[in-house]
Amino acid sequence: MELFKKYGGYVVVLIGGLLIGYLSAGGQETTKGHEHDMTVNGEQQYTCAMHPQIQQSEMGKCPLCGMDLTVAYGEGSTGSHQFQMTETAIALANIETTEIGVGDLEGNTLVLSGKIRSNEQTDAVQTSIFDGRIESLNINYVGQYIKKGKKIGVIYAPEMYTAQDQLLTSASYKETHKKLFDQARNASGLWRMTDAQISQVLKTGKPISNFPIVADVSGTVTEVMASEGNFYKQGDPLFKVSNLYSVWAVFDAYENQLPLLKRGQEIQIGSDTFNGKQFKAKIAFIDPVLDATNRTVAVRATLTNKEGFLKPGMFIKGAVAVDLSEQVLTVPKSAVLWTGKRSLVYVKPDPIKTVFQMTEVTLGNVIGDAYVVLDGLSPGDEVVTNGTFTVDAAAQLQGKTSMMTQANDIPILPDGGMNFKGDFKAKFTEVINRYAALKDALVASNSNDVITYAKLAAEAVIEIEDALLEETTQSHLKKIKENLHQISDFSNLEGQRKVFKSLSENMVAIASSFSDLDQPIYVQYCPMADANKGASWISFQNEIRNPYFGDSMLGCGSVTKTIQ
């Protein structure tokens, strides 16, 4: 009995340890079973964290980037819209996800882009008061200030000369035919001759041939339409004048933003030009007519400009406080990819697995740094908010559906214009698709994603066999390849956007030769790009989304050509 008591405790401990060990081993086996090591014909497979398409049966280095291969884990059952990335790839690419929810937007702001314009209520037009030829004009450039009543030029008026001659003739029988003389004098007065001028003509007996042009109003010249030596009829405009003590701030609001705007709302106006200075005003007018081309409505506020700080033509931004009583679902701007007329996000359907799924969404108003979600997402969905372009690139590398390969969105370009041979049509279509993704990365002002898509586009250009192409096409392709490599070498947006201008010019040169497209390609132009030298780009969407300025002047530009 003593012996049992002595060793019985050890037996219990031993049995308990064996039981714990068994359970631990079972737990480890279960955990390992969930990792789904990828095997082919009984052999372990290895892959690259950054290039999942690389699959080898032995350890080694990735032939594309030189990284050490890691154990490949099975992706399970994923559809064409789903794919899996390794934890290492996600960490290296700094990919982040956010769970979106229904949030109250009260206190957030709606940002609008616009320009300073002259106040049309203070605008005036100086006209010619009678037919004649302008001998001299002191107003010859925009910005010149004039004062009412001051002489601003001289005009030769033949009809005025005839009217004065009749006055002098009637003066010879003034005493006997006073009524005729008064009629002649009044006729001259109707032609805007002053009493002093009439008295001078009667005193000297010589008609005046050249008459002074006198300013009708005071203000700053905003447009000059007249020039010396030209003949003008009575009522013809000579120049426009505006009193810039007050100016208009005119913003472009998209039609889906109109429910958030109303007259009397306070709007805070600023610009990079203002060096941090802000102006407060109230919305005074919302245009009742929609611009059918840009799908925008003009929203106007009046600003006091006594110091002359605000110049017509300045680009500005207006921030309007949004006060909504309803709860709305929003998604960060960084999560959205734009392609054609569609908006896409990548959703992580399972919070545990590293699987991503491309989802099309319908977006509404822009509220601060987010879009209102109208359709496609639900509260609680986990979406990629950082590294979205990298996730899309991974989808392409794994042969999954991406923003550039979605059916019914990417047009197939037929032959036409230049003499294209072989499979150039299909391969250059891929170049355009990747160029479009690069352009969207510039719109989003993400230099890292720009580099990613510049490299992808360069790879697509390399696939084109140019030996059978004519010399002009070969020259454009060579330049496109050089520009893409240059863009990928820059780490800053300024350098990337500068080269993007040359890239776009060569892309336009080739794309312009196509016709009969399933979907039109729009050639768009911004006069402010490249230090006001102007620059073009091509897009699958009619809406202007400026790659040279991004959010700072997103809507700057216009469609100059439609390829269809």
Helix (H, G, I), strand (E, B) or coil at 297: strand
Q: List, in sequence order, every residue forming a beta bridge with 343; answer none if it has no partner.
A: 338, 361
Distance CA 82, CA 398 (A): 10
Q: Name every residue whose Cβ is closer than 8 Å to that of residue 403 and which is 6 or more positions away in sequence.
A: 337, 339, 344, 358, 392, 437
Helices 158-171, 178-190: axis angle to 10 degrees equals: 160
- Residue-level pLDDT at 188: 54
User: What DSSP string describes 370-426?
Assistant: EEEEEES--TT-EEEEESHHHHHHHHHHTT---TTT-TTTSPPPPPBSB---TTHHH
pLDDT in tens, 386-406: 888 888 888 777 767 777 654
Give the C-alpha distances (Å, rounded to integers) separating 127 from 143, 161, 348.
Answer: 18, 20, 67
CATH T-level topology, domain 244-318: Elongation Factor Tu (Ef-tu); domain 3 (2.40.30)
Q: Report domain 121-242's class.
A: mainly beta
SS3 content of the chain, % helix, strand, coil (to 5): 35, 30, 35
**Residue spans per domain, the chain:** 2-81, 121-242, 244-318, 424-563
Give the C-alpha distances (Å, rounded to integers) separating 112 from 352, 367, 474, 541.
Answer: 40, 10, 43, 20
Q: Which amino acid is at 29?
A: E
Distance CA 124, CA 273 (A): 28
Query: Across residues 477-504, what is the average pLDDT?
Result: 89
Q: Which of 216-220, 253-257, 374-378, 552-556 has the lowest mean pLDDT?
A: 253-257
Reported confidence tier of residue 250, pLDDT bands at 50, 70, 90 = very high
Query: Across residues 89-94, what is the average pLDDT?
Result: 84
Helix (H, G, I), strand (E, B) or coil at 532: helix
Distance CA 374, CA 336 (A): 14
Q: Name every residue whose Cβ is closer than 8 Å to that of residue 273 and which is 6 or more positions away in sequence.
A: 314, 315
More confident residue, 58 or 423: 58
- Residue-level pLDDT at 150: 87
Distance CA 51, CA 390 (A): 12
More confident residue, 6 or 510: 510
246, burial (CB in 10 Å: exposed 0-12, middle 13-18, buried 19+): middle
More confident residue, 270 or 208: 270
- Residue-level pLDDT at 423: 66
Max Cα–Cα distance, the chain, nearest Å: 166
Q: Which amino acid is at 477?
A: L
Does pLDDT of 411 surpass 90?
no
Average pLDDT of the chain is 75
- Residue-level pLDDT at 405: 58
Query: Across residues 205-214, what is the average pLDDT?
Result: 78
Place of tokens 């863009």: 487
Give percent of the chain with pLDDT exceeding 70: 74
pLDDT in tens, 333-375: 888 887 766 788 899 888 888 888 888 888 776 676 777 787 7
Does pLDDT of 192 surpass 80?
no
The answer to whether domain 121-242 and domain 244-318 are alike in fold is no
- Is residue 301 within 8 Å of residue 119, measured between CB atoms? no
- Residue-level pLDDT at 89: 82
Distance CA 476, CA 497 (A): 19
Reported confidence tier of residue 191, pLDDT bands at 50, 70, 90 = low
Q: Any idea which architecture 424-563 has in CATH?
A: Up-down Bundle (1.20)
- Residue-level pLDDT at 425: 65
DSSP at 73: B
Q: Which amino acid is at 194?
A: T
Query: Across residues 455-460, what is the average pLDDT?
Result: 88
Q: Name every residue whose Cβ is closer than 8 Å to that of residue 311 and which is 6 or more positions away in sequence.
A: 116
Query: Across residues 523-546, what is the average pLDDT?
Result: 84
481, burial (CB in 10 Å: exposed 0-12, middle 13-18, buried 19+): buried
Query: Across residues 546-555, what is the average pLDDT?
Result: 83
Does pLDDT of 488 surpass 70?
yes
Distance CA 254, CA 137 (A): 44
pLDDT in tens, 270-298: 887 777 788 888 999 999 888 877 778 89
Distance CA 55, CA 310 (A): 62
Q: Which of 22-31, 119-128, 207-216, 249-258 has the lowest mean pLDDT?
A: 22-31
Reported confidence tier of residue 517, pLDDT bands at 50, 70, 90 = low
Most confident of 101-115, 200-214, 380-394: 380-394
The 10 Å CB-count burial string (b at 16+, else e) for 348-362 is beeeeebbbbbbebe
Reported confidence tier of residue 536, pLDDT bands at 50, 70, 90 = confident
